[in-house]
Amino acid sequence: MTNPLLADDALPRFSSIRPEHVEPAVDTVLADNRAAIRQLLDAGGPWGWDNLVAPLERLEDRLERVWSPVSHLNAVRNSEGLRAAYNACLPKLSAYQTEVGQNTELFEAMQALRESGAFAELDQAQRQTVDNALRDFRLAGVALPETEKRRYAEIASRLSELSSRFQENLLDATNAWQLDVTNEARLAGVPESALGVMRQAAEQAGVEGWRVTLDVPVVQAILGHARDRELRREVYEAFTTRASDTGPHGGRWDNLPLMREILALRREQAALLGFASYAELSLQPKMAESPAQVIGFLEDLAQRAKPVAEQEFAELAAFAREQDGLETLEAWDVGYYSERLREARFELSPEDLRPYLQADRVMDGLFQVVERLFGVRIQAREGVDVWHEDVRFYEIRDPDGTLRGQFYTDLYARPQKRGGAWMATLRGRLRDGERLQTPVAFLTCNFTPPVGGRPALITHDEVETLFHEFGHGLHHMLTRVDAASVAGINGVAWDAVELPSQFLENWTWEREALDLFAAHHETGEPIPEALFQRLRAARNFQAAMQMVRQLEFSLFDLRLHTEPDAEARIYELLEAVREQVAVVRPPAFNRFPNSFAHIFAGGYAAGYYSYKWAEVLSADAYSRFEEEGIFNAETGRAFLENILEKGGSEDAMSLFVAFRGREPSIEPLLRASGLAA
């Protein structure tokens, strides 16, 4: 049988990939890579780019070409067979990565290159690659004694398994719960767009009425709009107790034992490498210098935001009392009364904008915004093999037709698909002699799908999400760097990686940009000026409450990864952080940490603060466009050349200063969040 994962196709043949292809493909590439590394070292120095770093980059790329499609399918088309194959490979991949990271001969070869005259002849991106590699060797334990190296390898392998199980438990718990409603009165207040999705889910399951699930668009619709308070409470409890010891499936997919083990192992790993905490280890490749600096940054924001957030919450509680005589505002009431207060204060509901935000048109408008800013052209390409009928494929080209990047979009929620929104990489830019590999990205969201012959209509929040993820995609695809390890998002300090994504969100609030895509799906009319003004006026509605919520997550994450016995006190630490910054206090049954995939199954451990850190950069970067014109071609080119094209080839602060002409200021973020005064 020919294995599609080993084919040298320009793009994967997703429809041909089966679970039984996965392990043989991974085994083949790992064996080939090990043999190639041995051969490379046996050939000996003197070491340079062409006989050391470039061959290693090619090997890493070959592994990514096999594993990226598998990892992606596991997230968007999860099945028992694929899950088993994916999990069978995790220990093998972990063992290989640790083996390479701890290879003393490779480390000494890289060190010899760093200290030789050949290093001075390398370009900036190549020098950065060598320096990053030496740092990563140290962080992989290359200098440890043999017994400690073995322990490090065991920990790395176990952590990859635990992260995967965390994500699986969360997906299974999300898919396991549903509530079938036959009495329409229970769903009073819920927007028609969400009712259509629930009706469709019920039809597909062969049941009467409406099926309420834990897909995020459905949960948001219930919590934001259902008048039935008991229904809100039921959905809130099911959603916030997923993968925990409590709630409707309490104990069935409980992530707590995994979380405890993950935290203990991370701390042990950090200690092996000589760090006082996992947070210290995590910050090594980031912009921030120490956990204390990050905590200071977060607490400073909290001091500014919390008094305003308390005021916002008091207004909300007073409004709920006045409207419905509600004496206690519970967590499952906050979304509902927030929407009613927004409607009362600004005559605005997210549903008011939905008819103007047809997903396909929004996509076209996003492309037009990017084309105007960065001078590229984006076009759909038909006939590409995909994993689901909703998936589309596009190409980004320079004005002269040169191909810059390619990407897949998969926009709608469905079962067996991980929740949330993300950009992931399929291929990175890599120059191999004359051949230049085009970067390819995945853009994944979980929007409300089209229902009953009507087009998919999304909320303004979802438009922001789409722009955000595409900002990551542009960072990956528009790179001009030929050294794969620092091309695109590779090698970018994690606390700067959100800069392009948060930056691009700003255009979703500008009339000039909205007019490129916001048009009524039936009449074609643009958003009426009065509605646009209400949208703008409501931009900072409860901004301080939203900020303290993000600060709560960030401080909780940092404390989990700095305090010596955190795994024994997970919920207790969260309570302590809430005491410090939160204004909404959830009920005792809430198990938010059990679904905090960013830090337990994603790349944000001791790094969740990156969203706020990068927001300082993005708000300040955008302020230059506010000064010079939001579609100023020269400013767009400066952002393209200094940030997007450079990837991780230079220090993030240097790149920011090159674009902005100075170090970042926090003022634009405070202004944008309505906290400047």
24 and 3 in contact (C-beta within 8 Å)? yes
Tell me the torsion sign for CA atoms 202, 204, 208, 209: positive
In angstroms, rounded to a whole number, what is the distance separating the alpha carbons of residues 455 and 521? 8
Q: How many CA atoms lie within 13 A of 609 on its CB side?
A: 30
DSSP secondary structure, 522-545, as one string: TT-PBPPHHHHHHHHHTTTTTHHH
362 and 459 in contact (C-beta within 8 Å)? no
Question: 179: exposed, middle or buried (C-beta count within 10 Å: 0-12, 13-18, 19+)?
Answer: middle
469 is catalytic: yes
| Beta-strand pair 430-432/422-427 | unpaired
Residue 517: partners with Cβ closer than 8 Å, 6 or more residues away: 357, 361, 362, 363, 364, 365, 366, 368
User: Tokens 């997903």 — which residue?
Assistant: 359
Q: Which amino acid is at 630?
A: I
In angstroms, rounded to a whole number, what is the distance separating the alpha carbons of residues 636 and 309? 35
Strands (E), 367-497: 377-380, 392-397, 403-412, 422-427, 430-432, 435-437, 440-447
CA geometry: angle 356, 386, 160, nearest 5 deg: 100
CA geometry: angle 108, 114, 118, nearest 5 deg: 120
Beta bridge partners of 442: 408, 424
List Cα–Cα distances, 492 to 123, 124, 158, 429, in angstroms. 17, 14, 26, 14
Query: Of the residues 57, 339, 351, 469, which is catalytic?
Result: 469
Tokens of 272: 């092996």
Q: Which of 593, 194, 642, 645 is nearest to 405 (CA)?
A: 645
274 and 286 in contact (C-beta within 8 Å)? no
From the centroid of its chain, how far is CA 222?
25
Backbone angles phi, psi at 226, to 5 degrees: -70, 125
List Cα–Cα distances, 512 to 518, 529, 624, in angstroms. 10, 12, 17
User: Tokens 């994962």 — which residue?
Assistant: 5
In angstroms, rounded to a whole number, what is the distance separating the alpha carbons of residues 579 and 568? 19
Q: How many CA atoms lie within 13 A of 246 on its CB side?
A: 14
Backbone angles phi, psi at 393, to 5 degrees: -130, 140
Residues annotated as part of the active site:
469
